[in-house]
Amino acid sequence: MNLQGKVVLVTGGTGSFGKKFVLRALENGVKKIIIFSRDELKQYEMAQEYTDKRVRFFIGDVRDKDRLYRAFDGVDIVIHAAAMKHVGACEYNPFEAVKTNINGAQNIIEAAIDRNVKRVIALSTDKAASPINLYGATKLASDKLFVAANSYAGDKETRFSVVRYGNVVGSRGSVVPFFKKMSATGKLPITDERMTRFWITLDQGVKFVLDSLERMQGGEIFVPKIPSMRVIDLAVAIAPECEMENVGIRPGEKLHEAMITEDDARRTLEFDSYYVIQPEFQWWSDELKHEGKELEEGFKYTSDLNKEWLTVEELRLLAGEM
């Protein structure tokens, strides 16, 4: 999407995605880009690196609706990337996860509508499809809120959509830096040799968000077609000399991840490089429709049944770029 002359705000903007998104937005001619986050140290460190005068920093928490009202003044586009996303942290701090991931989503929606923000894209996760952990459950609830928010907006122009994708290479908490660190011990802990995951780079994730901003009409969940990888292949790619130690699946983990369930597939359209999960209820206007291919009965998009796979060599190249 062309961001020329637009004011864009990114919640959780000091994270891996936010930093990459800011670079792309500046190249795209954005008028101003606001980093909204609660960690002053991360903002200070980011400000040393991003010295363009169009980059602004705003201390705040998505739990604080009044602060969002102030931050959204004059904003055209909001990218909602703020979340508690670590599975273990959410399991042990469930009230906090709900406050940030669900209540925070509601605050974003209400502030965006009242401040006349034109477009909001919320970042989701494959863990929101048939969730088995609290993180996934809160993100599923968040997705539902953002889809329904288009109805909630009434006559306002504000439109909301969701982008759902898999594990991001090199993001904070990624298994790649963990494996690299553990390789020094001569052993890599493997949860299960059968485990698979969807895999996307930061650049691909940012591009997909910008493309979805261009395509969105409100209410879609956009899902990119991305490759899968076997965790054991990633371990071999990073540290082939290490002994692999099977430690078992951790609480809240799946053997394979899903981005489109069999139930979602009934209202999903396929395009060349992505899918669109349509709302369960009517579009906001009869004129707003996507012309895609309907999926066959029983379709599901899971990391183990994917048609595209990363090889050990490809994973080694990706890991080496970090």
Name the one residue in this structure whose structure tokens are 């003044």: 73
Are 93 and 136 spatial neighbours (Cβ–Cβ below 8 Å)?
Answer: no
| Under 8 Å between Cβ of 131 and 140 | yes
Dist. CA 258–CA 236, nearest whole Å: 24
Would you give the DSSP letter of residue 84? -
Contact between 292 and 316 (Cβ < 8 Å): no
- Terminal C-alpha separation, the chain: 27
Catalytically annotated residue among 42, 127, 139, 254? 127
* C-alpha–C-alpha distance, residues 38 and 270, integer Å: 38
Residue (of 145, 239, 119) closest to 187 by Cα position: 239
Q: Across the strands, what pairs with 122? A: 80, 162
The C-alpha angle with vertex 205 and arms to 26 and 95, in degrees rounded to 5, equals 105
Decide: residue 191, CB within 10 A, 0-12 exposed, 13-18 middle, 19+ buried: middle
**127 catalytic residue (yes or no):** yes
269 φ, ψ to 5°?
A: -110, 145
- Decide: helix, strand or coil at residue 200: strand
From the CA atom positions of the chain, what is the Rg in Å? 20
Q: Which residues are catalytic?
A: 127
